[in-house]
C-alpha cells in the first residue's frame, strides 16, 4: 500500500488534475508547466481535506513534516526564510475546489509577517508605510477569514482612526503612526475575541490557515450549496504560494491585460498598469493607471515578455485571456490567467475572428459565446458607461427585453391621439393592462405596469410585439385619475420622461443614454456556423404577420406556436368578440362568429404567405373567455354609482345583465378553468370558425401557388378522449373546406402537452396526435402547483433568496420535475407513434440550458419568441457539440 501523495508543487501538476489539485491549483501548475513566471508554491490535495475530516488533529500532525518540507523548497527557490525577521518568506493561502463554489474560505495574504518581520520588510523595501499596511491587512484578514472575528469589529477601529483625521479620509491617508496604532488595537481586539494573542509564529499562522480552509468545506452554506447543485463531496485543495509585491519600488508594478479588446473584440492587446503599486491601488482609483502600451518605454523587456506570454496563453487556453501580473524588482510574475469577460459584441467578434485566424475550430467558436447574452445584441440597452444610475426609480419584473425612453402616458386613448400628432416617444404606464389597452400598446414604445407578472397581459403582448416591458413594479403608485405616479416621495407626472429597461426590469427618471443594437456580420456568420452544426430545429412563437416577418429575419424554420387569442384582442374586433360571448342565442353567437371569421382568415393568410413552405402551428383559442370582457369590479362600481345617483334605468339594467354574465363565466382559478380544449368542447362554434378561417386561408394560397403548411394544435389536453372528441369534428370541417376548393392540402393535427396528465398518458394521446408540443409554461405551473403570476410576485423571490430554489423554473426549465414528465411523455409517445413530431413552445424554448435539454431528450424542434431565435440557434449548436463530446 503506497502512501497517498498529499502535496504537489506547482511544477508537478497540470490543468487536467482538477480533481486532485482543485481548479486554482491545477491552473497554477499548468502555467508553471508553460514556463511562465509564476510565484512558486505547492498545493495540498482535495484528498487531504477528506482525510483531515476523519481525524483532524491526527491528520495535521501526519502531514506537518511534509508541509514544512515544501515550505523549505519555497525557501530554497526564493532565497527567503519562513519565520525569519529579515528577508522573510511571505506567502498566500487560498482554497481551491475542483468546482468553483461560494461559501468557502477565500484568501489570506502576507502570511509570515509578525512584529519583527514587518520591520525587516520595511527595511528591505525602504517603505515602512507599505510594510506596516501589509501587516495591518494581514492581521485583519487572518482574524476575519481564518479565526472568524467579525470584519466589522476591525472596520470600526479603522473607521475611528479615519474619522479623527476628518470627513473624507481614505485608507491611503493613514500615516505610519496611524497604522501602528491600528495594529496595536487590532491585536487587542484579536485577543479579546479569540482569547489568545495574535500568533507571532508564522508556522502557527500557516497551520491555522490550512485548517481554516479545510473547515470551510463543511460550513452550512457550503454543504447546502453542494446539495442543491449536486456537487460531490470531493473536498477542497489548499494553495500555498509565494507573495510578490508590485509596490516594492519604482522597478515594480502591477497590472491587468486582455489579449483582445474586451469591449469591441478587436484583435489588439488591451490593458492598464501602475508602477510601484499593488492591485488594490488600481481599483482604488487614486492614481490613474497607464495604458499597457506605455510599458514599452518604461519596462521594454518586460513589455515584450508580457506580449509573448499573452499570445501564448491565448493559444494555449484557446480563448481570449484576462491576465493579472505583477512586476517585482523588474521581474514579471503572472498571477492569474482566465478567459476574459467581454461584451456580447466582443464575444461574437472574438469567436469568429479566432476561427478565421485558425486558432480555434468552429465548434470552439460556438462554445465560446454564451447564448444568454447574444439576445442583448438585438435590443437597445442602457449605455452603462455614460449612464447616471442615480436616476434609478424602481425595480420591476423584466417582462420584455430592451431599453427605451419616452413620455409617461396613462391612458391608451391618449396615446393614440398623440400618435396622430406624430409624438412617438411614449411609454404606457398602467396599474395593469387589459385587452382594451392593446391599441395603446401598439402605439407606445414600451409599457410599465404596477401589477401583474411575466405572463400578465401586458407582458405577453409586449413580448409578442418585441417592445420593452417592465411589469409588476409594485413600488410605484399610479394615480390614473390625477395622471401621475409616485415612488416614495418622488412624483412623475404625465408627459415626464422615464426610461424603462425590460432586460433588467429597472425604471429610471428621464432619458438614459442608450446603445443601438447591431446585427453584425460576425454575428450572422457565427449563427451560420451554428446552423451547420445543430440538429434540432428552431421555430418561432409568432402571432401576427409582423412577428412572422421578424421570425424569418432571425432565421426561424417555421412557426411553432401561433396564438390566436391576440387576433381576438384587436381593438376593432373586441366588440364583436364580446358580442359573441354575451350572445343570448346560438344564432346571435353564430352571427358574431361569422363576422370574426374573415378577420382571422386574413391574419392566417398573411402569416402562411410569409412563412411559405415552412410549417405554421396554430393553436386554437386557449384563454378563458372572461379575459375578453370588461373587469367585473369596474362594472360593479359603475352599477352602484348609477344606482346611488339615480342614473338612467336602462343603463342600470344593462350593467346588471353584464354583471350576471361576467359572474356566470368568471372563475375561482381561471388558470385551471374553462380554457384550452375545454373551451372548444363546451363552445364548439369557436373552434369551428377558427378551423374554417385557417383552411380557407391555406386553400386560397394553395390556389395562388403558395405552399401553406398547416399544423393545427389543440391546447390543454389531459385525456385522449378530449383530443378525439375535438379532433374528429374539426378534421371533418377541414376536409369539407378543402373539398370545397377541389384541391389537395396536407396538414397535421396535434396537441400541446402542458397538463401533467397528458404527459402521464402520452402513449394513448400519441395514437391520436401527429405532433406534441410541450407547453412548458403551463406544465411548470401545474407540475409545481403554482401560478406564475402569483408565484413570481409573492414567493419565488423569497425562495431564491432562501436558496429553496436555485433558479426560477419559469425561466430555466426544471429538468428534475417538469423534465421528468417530458421524458416520460416522449418515451410513451414515440413508442405508441414512431412518426410523432416533438417540439417545445413554452418560453423555455429560447433559454439556452433548456434548449440543450430539449436536444438531449430528443425533441425535433424548439420554438421561441422571434428575438430569442439567435439564442436558440446558438444553444442548439452547443447542445450538438456537447453531445458529441460526451460520446467521445
Catalytic residues: 457, 841
Residue 808 sits in the site that holds its own copies (CB under 8 A): no
User: Shortest distance, CB of residue 220 to its own copies, whole angstroms?
Assistant: 10
Residue 622 sits in the site that holds its own copies (CB under 8 A): no
Residue 672 sits in the site that holds its own copies (CB under 8 A): yes
Name which of residues 196 to 235 contact its own copies (CB under 8 A). 228
* DSSP 8-class letter at 675: -
- 403-409 vs 497-501, strand pairing mode: antiparallel
User: Shortest distance, CB of residue 443 to its own copies, whole angstroms?
Assistant: 27
What values do phi and psi take at 324, rounded to 5?
-110, 135
Residue 821 sits in the site that holds its own copies (CB under 8 A): yes
Instruction: Give the three-class secondary structure for 827.
Output: helix
- Given candidates 249, 279, 673, 858, which one binds its own copies under the rule CB under 8 A? 673
Grid coordinates of 850 = 433548456
Q: Cell numbers 353584464 correspond to what residue?
A: 658
User: Pattern 555-584, binding to its own copies, x per CB under 8 A?
Assistant: ------------------------------
The smaller minimum CB distance to its own copies, of residues 190 and 485, is found at 485
- 490-493 vs 484-487, strand pairing mode: antiparallel
Residues 6+ apart with CB under 8 A from 701: 605, 608, 609, 612, 707, 708
Q: Which of 480-488's residues contact partners 24+ apart within 8 Å by CB, and which partners?
A: 480/410, 480/411, 480/430, 480/431, 483/410, 485/408, 485/429, 485/450, 487/393, 487/394
User: Shortest distance, CB of residue 10 to its own copies, whole angstroms?
Assistant: 39
- Given candidates 798, 800, 884, 885, which one binds its own copies under the rule CB under 8 A? 798
- What is the rounded CA–CA span in Å between residue 639 and residue 622? 30
- Given candidates 207, 757, 777, 883, which one binds its own copies under the rule CB under 8 A? 757
User: Pattern 718-737, binding to its own copies, x per CB under 8 A?
Assistant: xx-xx--x------------
Each residue of 702-729: b (16+ CB within 10 Å) or e?
A: beeebebbbbbbbbbbbebebbbbbbeb
Residue 188 sits in the site that holds its own copies (CB under 8 A): no
- What is the rounded CA–CA span in Å between residue 872 and residue 880? 12
The smaller minimum CB distance to its own copies, of residues 177 and 802, is found at 802
The smaller minimum CB distance to its own copies, of residues 694 and 796, is found at 796
The smaller minimum CB distance to its own copies, of residues 316 and 823, is found at 823
The smaller minimum CB distance to its own copies, of residues 64 and 757, is found at 757
Secondary structure of 569-593 in HEC code, one letter for each residue: HCCCCHHHHHHHHHCCCHHHHHHHH
- Given candidates 311, 479, 667, 736, which one binds its own copies under the rule CB under 8 A? 667
- Given candidates 468, 505, 756, 845, which one binds its own copies under the rule CB under 8 A? 756
The smaller minimum CB distance to its own copies, of residues 741 and 795, is found at 795
The smaller minimum CB distance to its own copies, of residues 200 and 432, is found at 432
The smaller minimum CB distance to its own copies, of residues 131 and 818, is found at 818
Residue 782 sits in the site that holds its own copies (CB under 8 A): yes
- Given candidates 363, 501, 509, 778, which one binds its own copies under the rule CB under 8 A? 778
The smaller minimum CB distance to its own copies, of residues 199 and 676, is found at 676
Q: Of the listed pieces 78-86, 138-146, 349-357, 811-819, which binds its own copies according to CB under 8 A?
A: 811-819
Residue 826 sits in the site that holds its own copies (CB under 8 A): no
Residue 789 sits in the site that holds its own copies (CB under 8 A): yes
**Structural element, H or E, at residue 837:** strand 837-840
Q: Which of 658-661's residues contact partners 24+ apart within 8 Å by CB, and which partners?
A: 658/582, 658/629, 658/630, 659/632, 659/635, 661/581, 661/582, 661/629
- 253-258 vs 321-328, strand pairing mode: antiparallel
User: Shortest distance, CB of residue 631 to its own copies, whole angstroms?
Assistant: 12
Number of residues near its own copies (by CB under 8 A) = 57
- What is the rounded CA–CA span in Å between residue 111 and residue 202? 7
User: For residue 118, what are the CA distances in angstroms to 135, 209, 250, 818?
Assistant: 7, 19, 20, 60
Closest CA to 70 of 6, 154, 4: 6
DSSP symbols for 228-277:
HHT------EEEEEE---TTSSTT-EEEEEESS-TTT--SS-EEEEEES-
User: Shortest distance, CB of residue 589 to its own copies, whole angstroms?
Assistant: 17
Q: Of the listed pieces 233-241, 559-567, 687-695, 748-756, which binds its own copies according to CB under 8 A?
A: 748-756
Grid coordinates of 397 = 419584473
The smaller minimum CB distance to its own copies, of residues 86 and 794, is found at 794
User: Shortest distance, CB of residue 692 to its own copies, whole angstroms?
Assistant: 22
Residues 6+ apart with CB under 8 A from 417: none
Residues 6+ apart with CB under 8 A from 346: 260, 261, 262, 263, 264, 265
What values do phi and psi take at 522, rounded to 5?
-60, -40
The smaller minimum CB distance to its own copies, of residues 679 and 698, is found at 679
Q: Of the listed pieces 44-52, 461-469, 733-741, 796-804, which binds its own copies according to CB under 8 A?
A: 796-804
Q: Of the listed pieces 103-111, 433-441, 674-682, 703-711, which binds its own copies according to CB under 8 A?
A: 674-682
User: For residue 814, what are the CA distances in angstroms to 811, 822, 878?
Assistant: 9, 10, 19
User: Pattern 356-385, binding to its own copies, x per CB under 8 A?
Assistant: ------------------------------
Does the CA dihedral 301-304-310-312 come out positive or negative?
negative
Residue 760 sits in the site that holds its own copies (CB under 8 A): yes
Residue 690 sits in the site that holds its own copies (CB under 8 A): no
**Structural element, H or E, at residue 395:** strand 392-395
Residue 259 sits in the site that holds its own copies (CB under 8 A): no
User: Shortest distance, CB of residue 783 to its own copies, whole angstroms?
Assistant: 5
User: For residue 676, what are the CA distances in angstroms to 258, 346, 586?
Assistant: 54, 44, 21
- What is the rounded CA–CA span in Å between residue 260 and residue 588? 69
Name which of residues 631 to 660 contact its own copies (CB under 8 A). 632-633, 636-637, 640-641, 644-645
Residue 787 sits in the site that holds its own copies (CB under 8 A): yes
The smaller minimum CB distance to its own copies, of residues 423 and 807, is found at 807
Q: Of the listed pieces 12-20, 139-147, 584-592, 792-800, which binds its own copies according to CB under 8 A?
A: 792-800
Secondary structure of 449-491 in HEC code, one letter for each residue: ECCCCCCCHHHHHHHHHCCCEEECCCCEEEECCCCEEEECCEE
- What is the rounded CA–CA span in Å between residue 268 and residue 259? 7
Instruction: Give the three-class secondary structure for 427.
Output: strand
Grid coordinates of 774 = 410541450
Residue 857 sits in the site that holds its own copies (CB under 8 A): no
- What is the rounded CA–CA span in Å between residue 725 and residue 681? 8
Residue 400 sits in the site that holds its own copies (CB under 8 A): no
Residue 755 sits in the site that holds its own copies (CB under 8 A): yes
User: Shortest distance, CB of residue 343 to its own copies, whole angstroms?
Assistant: 35
Q: Of the listed pieces 404-412, 496-504, 802-810, 866-874, which binds its own copies according to CB under 8 A?
A: 802-810
Each residue of 446-473: b (16+ CB within 10 Å) or e?
A: bbbbbbbbbbbbbbbbbbbbbbbbbbbb
- Given candidates 126, 172, 329, 682, which one binds its own copies under the rule CB under 8 A? 682
Distance of CA 307 to the CA centre of its chain: 34
Residue 814 sits in the site that holds its own copies (CB under 8 A): yes
- Given candidates 754, 792, 843, 847, which one binds its own copies under the rule CB under 8 A? 754
- Given candidates 341, 794, 831, 884, which one binds its own copies under the rule CB under 8 A? 794
Residue 816 sits in the site that holds its own copies (CB under 8 A): yes
Question: Which chain residues interact with its own copies by CB under 8 A?
Answer: 228, 632-633, 636-637, 640-641, 644-645, 667-674, 678, 681-682, 716, 718-719, 721-722, 725, 754-757, 760-761, 778, 781-787, 789-791, 794-795, 798-799, 802-805, 814, 816-818, 820-821
Amino acid at each position: 500500500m503506497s502512501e497517498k501523495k498529499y502535496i504537489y508543487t506547482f511544477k508537478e501538476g497540470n490543468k487536467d488534475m482538477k480533481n486532485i489539485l482543485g481548479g486554482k491549483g491545477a491552473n497554477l501548475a499548468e502555467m508553471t508547466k508553460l514556463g511562465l513566471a509564476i510565484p512558486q508554491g505547492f498545493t495540498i490535495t482535495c484528498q487531504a481535506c477528506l482525510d483531515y475530516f476523519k481525524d483532524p488533529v491526527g491528520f495535521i500532525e501526519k502531514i506537518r513534516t511534509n508541509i514544512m518540507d515544501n515550505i523549505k523548497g519555497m525557501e530554497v527557490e526564493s532565497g527567503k526564510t519562513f519565520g525569519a525577521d529579515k528577508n522573510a518568506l511571505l506567502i498566500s493561502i487560498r482554497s481551491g475546489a475542483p468546482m468553483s463554489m461560494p461559501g468557502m474560505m477565500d484568501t489570506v495574504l502576507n502570511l509570515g509577517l509578525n512584529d519583527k518581520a514587518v520591520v525587516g520588510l520595511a527595511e528591505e523595501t525602504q517603505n515602512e508605510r507599505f510594510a506596516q499596511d501589509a501587516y495591518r491587512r494581514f492581521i485583519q484578514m487572518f482574524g476575519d477569514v481564518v479565526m472568524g472575528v467579525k470584519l466589522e469589529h476591525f472596520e470600526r477601529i479603522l473607521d475611528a482612526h479615519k474619522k479623527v483625521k476628518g470627513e473624507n479620509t481614505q485608507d491611503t491617508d493613514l500615516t505610519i503612526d496611524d497604522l501602528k496604532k491600528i495594529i496595536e488595537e487590532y491585536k487587542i481586539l484579536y485577543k479579546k475575541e479569540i482569547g489568545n494573542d495574535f500568533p507571532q509564529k508564522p508556522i502557527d499562522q500557516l497551520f491555522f490557515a490550512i485548517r481554516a480552509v479545510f473547515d470551510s468545506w463543511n460550513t452550512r452554506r457550503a454543504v447546502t450549496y453542494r446539495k442543491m447543485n449536486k456537487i460531490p463531496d470531493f473536498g477542497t485543495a489548499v494553495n500555498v504560494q509565494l507573495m510578490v509585491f508590485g509596490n516594492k519600488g519604482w522597478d515594480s508594478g502591477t497590472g491587468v491585460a486582455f489579449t483582445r479588446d474586451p469591449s469591441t473584440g478587436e484583435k489588439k492587446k488591451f490593458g492598464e498598469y501602475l508602477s510601484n503599486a499593488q492591485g488594490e491601488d488600481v481599483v482604488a482609483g487614486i492614481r490613474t493607471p497607464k495604458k499597457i502600451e506605455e510599458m514599452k518605454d518604461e519596462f521594454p523587456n518586460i513589455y515584450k515578455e508580457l506580449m509573448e506570454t499573452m499570445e501564448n496563453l491565448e493559444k494555449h487556453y484557446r480563448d481570449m485571456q484576462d491576465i493579472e501580473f505583477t512586476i517585482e524588482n523588474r521581474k514579471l510574475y503572472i498571477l492569474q490567467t482566465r478567459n476574459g469577460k467581454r461584451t456580447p459584441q466582443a464575444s461574437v467578434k472574438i469567436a469568429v475572428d479566432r476561427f478565421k485566424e485558425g486558432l480555434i475550430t468552429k465548434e470552439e467558436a460556438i462554445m465560446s459565446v454564451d447564448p444568454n447574452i447574444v439576445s442583448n445584441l438585438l435590443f437597445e440597452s442602457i449605455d452603462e458607461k455614460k449612464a447616471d444610475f442615480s436616476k434609478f426609480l424602481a425595480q420591476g419584473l423584466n417582462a420584455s427585453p430592451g431599453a427605451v425612453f419616452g413620455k409617461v402616458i396613462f391612458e391608451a386613448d391618449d396615446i393614440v391621439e398623440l400618435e396622430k400628432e406624430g409624438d412617438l416617444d411614449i411609454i404606457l404606464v398602467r396599474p395593469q393592462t387589459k385587452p382594451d389597452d392593446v391599441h395603446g400598446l401598439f402605439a407606445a414604445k414600451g409599457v410599465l405596469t404596477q401589477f401583474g407578472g411575466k405572463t400578465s397581459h401586458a407582458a405577453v403582448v409586449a413580448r409578442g410585439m418585441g417592445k420593452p416591458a417592465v411589469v409588476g413594479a409594485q413600488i410605484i403608485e399610479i394615480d390614473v385619475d390625477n395622471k401621475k405616479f409616485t415612488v416614495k416621495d418622488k412624483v412623475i407626472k404625465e408627459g415626464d420622461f422615464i426610461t424603462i429597461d425590460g432586460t433588467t426590469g429597472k425604471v429610471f427618471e428621464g432619458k438614459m443614454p442608450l446603445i443601438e443594437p447591431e446585427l453584425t456580420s460576425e454575428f450572422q456568420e457565427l449563427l451560420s456556423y451554428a446552423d451547420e452544426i445543430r440538429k434540432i430545429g428552431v421555430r418561432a412563437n409568432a402571432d401576427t404577420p409582423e412577428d412572422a416577418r421578424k421570425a424569418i429575419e432571425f432565421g426561424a424554420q417555421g412557426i411553432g406556436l401561433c396564438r390566436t387569442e391576440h387576433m381576438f384582442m384587436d381593438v376593432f374586433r373586441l366588440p364583436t368578440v364580446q358580442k359573441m360571448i354575451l350572445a343570448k342565442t346560438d344564432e346571435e353567437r353564430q352571427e358574431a362568429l361569422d363576422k370574426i371569421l374573415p378577420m382571422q382568415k386574413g391574419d392566417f393568410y398573411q402569416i402562411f404567405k410569409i412563412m411559405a413552405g415552412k410549417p405554421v402551428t396554430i393553436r386554437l383559442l386557449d384563454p378563458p373567455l372572461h379575459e375578453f370582457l370588461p373587469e367585473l369590479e369596474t362594472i360593479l362600481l359603475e352599477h352602484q354609482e348609477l344606482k346611488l345617483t339615480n342614473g338612467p334605468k336602462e343603463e342600470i339594467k344593462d350593467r346588471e345583465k353584464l354583471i350576471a354574465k361576467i359572474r356566470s363565466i368568471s372563475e375561482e382559478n381561471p388558470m385551471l378553468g374553462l380554457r384550452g380544449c375545454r373551451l372548444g368542447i363546451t363552445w364548439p362554434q369557436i373552434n369551428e370558425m377558427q378551423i374554417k378561417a385557417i383552411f380557407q386561408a391555406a386553400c386560397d394560397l394553395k390556389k395562388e401557388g403558395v405552399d401553406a403548411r398547416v399544423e393545427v394544435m389543440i391546447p390543454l389536453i389531459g385525456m385522449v378522449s378530449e383530443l378525439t372528441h375535438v379532433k374528429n369534428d374539426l378534421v371533418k370541417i377541414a376536409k369539407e373546406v378543402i373539398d370545397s376548393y377541389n384541391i389537395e392540402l396536407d396538414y397535421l393535427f396535434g396537441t400541446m402537452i402542458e397538463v401533467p396528465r397528458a404527459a402521464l398518458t402520452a402513449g394513448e394521446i400519441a395514437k391520436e396526435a401527429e405532433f406534441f408540443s410541450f407547453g412548458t409554461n403551463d406544465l411548470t405551473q401545474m407540475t409545481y402547483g403554482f401560478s406564475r403570476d402569483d408565484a413570481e410576485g409573492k414567493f419565488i423571490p423569497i425562495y431564491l433568496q432562501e436558496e429553496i430554489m436555485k433558479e426560477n423554473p419559469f425561466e430555466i426549465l426544471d429538468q428534475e420535475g417538469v423534465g421528468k414528465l417530458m421524458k416520460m411523455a416522449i418515451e410513451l409517445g414515440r413508442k405508441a407513434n414512431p412518426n410523432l413530431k416533438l417540439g417545445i413552445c413554452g418560453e423555455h424554448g429560447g433559454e439556452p440550458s433548456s434548449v440543450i435539454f430539449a436536444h438531449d431528450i430528443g425533441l425535433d424542434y424548439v420554438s421561441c419568441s422571434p428575438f430569442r431565435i439567435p439564442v436558440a440557434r446558438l444553444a442548439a449548436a452547443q447542445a450538438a457539440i456537447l453531445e458529441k463530446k460526451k460520446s467521445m
